Amino acid sequence: MTRPALSAVIELFKPITWFPPMWAFGCGVIASGVPVAGRWPVIIVGVLLAGPLVCATSQAVNDWFDRHVDAINEPQRPIPSGRMPGRWGLGLAIGWTGVSLAVASLLGPWGFGAAVVGLLLAWAYSAPPLRLKENGWWGNAACGVCYEGLAWATGAAVMAGGSMPSGRSLLLAALYSGGAHGIMTLNDFKSVEGDRRLGVGSLPVRLGVQPAARVACWIMGLAQLLVVLALVSWGRPVPALVVGLLLMLQLLMMDRFLDSPSERATWYSGFGVPLFVAGMMVSAFALRSLEAGHA
């Protein structure tokens, strides 16, 4: 059987998608309040696990089980285009799952357990019989948890030697996971035609394009508003103000996005989402000073 070119394998793993979980893991590291000196090997392994391993695995799994949808929406992708022949896509998904688990074992029980949960969510999202992506509510929630909350909590836990992260850290992880649900919806606007034809119930298919866009904006905005309130309640008004200003800029962009969601979803992902993730890091540094003070 013809082997796929390295370029096709890299495209299958979608490196551009690795940033969110790697960033979230870094936020967890910062939020832990634990000094990074002497812990760089653990941090590097964790970042690699979050992005090039677990996230890349999820992309391979998704491309294999979405190959019929991609033949309509994105026929240039490696599998429907034939550049990833036979069952190579499935084999890479299974093989990279194994590699991810092997590397995760280096991070102790918490890191390994988090990787197991993340990989289970990755397979449950795309593969039958669960195939969570066929329900936009459940599928986007699974992605939000995997990409943001789980990665954040793992970063905080491995820095603390495997201890449970603080309640404040887990709250921020949960809020940003919730906000990521809206970010995941942005990715669905480009696939409405194929999703509708093949029965994939993304929110734009279930609710309609305009209502789904409004729901995504509300979810992203509300999550960040709750982060602002949490920071204020913890006595961190300056970071709360910064996150609030970032949210205000997003609201201005959301107004333009809502005028034409299908055409501007990619635009908002490129300019609005970076403000969302910048707020994550601001919140992590705000929490760092609190956690270090209680250490």
Residue 135 bridge partners (DSSP) = 201
Percent of the chain whose predicted confidence (pLDDT) is above 90: 84
- Residue 294 pLDDT exceeds 60: no
Residue environment code for 218-227, b if the CB has 16+ CB neighbours within 10 A, otherwise e: ebbbebbebb
pLDDT at 229: 98
For residues 54 and 116, give the distance between their C-alpha atoms in angstroms, rounded to a whole number. 9
Tens digits of per-residue pLDDT, 69-100? 889 888 999 999 999 999 999 999 999 999 99
Tens digits of per-residue pLDDT, 184-218? 999 999 888 888 888 889 999 999 999 999 999 99
Residue 201 bridge partners (DSSP) = 135
- Residue 293 pLDDT exceeds 60: no
Tens digits of per-residue pLDDT, 113-161? 999 999 999 999 999 999 999 999 999 999 999 989 999 999 999 998 8
For residues 31 and 38, give the distance between their C-alpha atoms in angstroms, rounded to a whole number. 17
Helix (H/G/I), strand (E/B), else coil: 5: coil
Q: Which two tokens stand for residue 125?
A: 């999202």
State the amino acid at position 173 in one-letter form.
Answer: A
- CA distance between the termini of the chain: 57
Residue environment code for 165-178, b if the CB has 16+ CB neighbours within 10 A, otherwise e: bbebbbbbbbbbbb
3-state secondary structure 174-224: HHHHHHHHHHHHHCCHHHHHHHHHHCCECHHHHHCHHHHHHHHHHHHHHHH
Angle at 95 between CA 94 and CA 101, to 5 degrees: 95
